[in-house]
Amino acid sequence: MKKLIALLLCLLMLLGLFSAQAANEEVTGKIVIYTSMYQFVIDMMDAAMEEEFPNLDVEFFYGGTGALQQKLAGEIETGKLGCDMMLVAEPAYSLELKEGGWLHSYVIEGAQDLLRFPYDEEGYWYPVRVCNMVLAYNPELYQPEDLPKSFEEFAFDESLKGLISMGNPLTSGTTMASVAALSDLYGYEYFEALGKNNVMIESGSVALTKLETGECKAIMILEESVLKKRKEDGSKLAVIYPEDGVILIPSTVMSVAEDRSANMNVKAAEAITDWLLSEAGQKFVIAGYMHSVFKGSTDIPFDSIDTEELIAKDIGVDWVRTYTQRNEIQQAFQQAVTISK
């Protein structure tokens, strides 16, 4: 009897596999995805999707969040977008596009049991990957006692004047989310302190180089950038998980409303959403040095710490404020901090 049950289970699994493959073979046509993911993650996902959806032409278009938002703003003026899906940096922009009627609703049954980060209950957007804003330093050049232990010290410790760096909230979605969270926590005085401390506003790659040379003592940067450098380059640069909390930034997947999309292929967009929120899709998130959105997942990026531990330390971002007060927050930052062109 046990052997018969085992045989039946195997047959059911095979039937499930074949039916899934058959369903994916029925996904046809073309789909264009705008994304701010790293190119190497795109390349991995593209190859996997080619196998998963053999009859679907998937085209990725890469850009930073700021650049993609500018591109989309121009397309919105025309009344139609040049893509069918978006994988961008943070939920605030998803709220904006939903309000404008640009998104397709796809309700996933059981999403509340699957996801450990917020999602749109009407199905307009879901988190796919989680970025983590932290601090970083070079242990070969500086001792821990000489470094900021928190985001607060990063801005207010005058001994760091001229020796700190961060991204640009006018062009980076993750940096924008981070300064919104920190201004919620410390007020706009936080921006003023950054300005008085002569914070340098530059790309992550430039900031990492300055850590290596000693031009910076500490930088505010995504954890994934440091982890990638440690694994792929053998770098000794290290992460500081700030005592006042980390800033977790879920990156969302959105499908464009069919009549406003490039290829009018919402069936394919729904299938890709399902794949991104499967075990197979989440493996590429982890491989890209980001955190999984799944409840109970114990898989973590190289050299990171447990995601649940990070969730317990999360400062939290008010996504509605980040959307509705974006211009005010950015203006306050610009008034306090010098941004070189």
Contact 170, 201 (CB under 8 A): no
Residue 23: predicted pLDDT: 56
The architecture of the domain spanning 131-248+306-336 is 3-Layer(aba) Sandwich (3.40)
Residue 88: predicted pLDDT: 84
| C-alpha distances out from residue 3 to 6, 7, 15, 18, Å | 5, 6, 18, 22
Topology annotation, domain 19-129+250-287: D-Maltodextrin-Binding Protein; domain 2 (3.40.190)
Residue 24: predicted pLDDT: 84
The token pair at 188 is 């706009």
Residue 66: predicted pLDDT: 84
Domain ranges of the chain: 19-129+250-287, 131-248+306-336
Residue 8: predicted pLDDT: 37
Largest interatomic CA distance in the chain: 76
Question: Pick from 102, 107, 211, 233: which is nearest to 164 by CA?
Answer: 211
- pLDDT single digits (tens) 138-153: 999 999 889 999 999 9
| 261 vs 257: CA distance, rounded Å | 6
Contact 148, 244 (CB under 8 A): no
Residue 192: predicted pLDDT: 98
Q: Using 50 as the pLDDT threshold, list the residues of the chain that sit under it.
A: 1-20
* Residues counted in the chain: 341
Residue 103: predicted pLDDT: 98
The answer to pTM > 0.75 is yes
Map the chain to HEC letters: CHHHHHHHHHHHHHHHHHHHHHHHHCCCEEEEEEECCCHHHHHHHHHHHHHHCCCEEEEEEECCHHHHHHHHHHHHHHCCCCCCEEEECCHHHHHHHHHCCCECCCCCCCHHHHECCCCCCCCCCEEEEEEEEEEEECCCCCCHHHCCCCHHHHHHCHHHCCCEEECCCCCCHHHHHHHHHHHHHHCCHHHHHHHHCCCEECCHHHHHHHHHHCCCCEEEEEHHHHHHHHHHHCCCCEEECCCCCEEEEEEEEEEECHHHCCCCCHHHHHHHHHHHCCHHHHHHHHHCCCECCECCCCCCCCCCCCHHHHHHHECCCCHHHHHHCHHHHHHHHHHHCCCCC
**Do 131-248+306-336 and 19-129+250-287 fall under one CATH topology?**
yes
Residue 20: predicted pLDDT: 47
Q: Taking the CA of residue 313 as centre, how many other CA atoms within 13 Å lie in the half-sphere pointing to its CB?
A: 19
Q: Where does residue 195 fall: left (phi above 0), alpha (psi -120 to 50 degrees), or beta otherwise? A: alpha
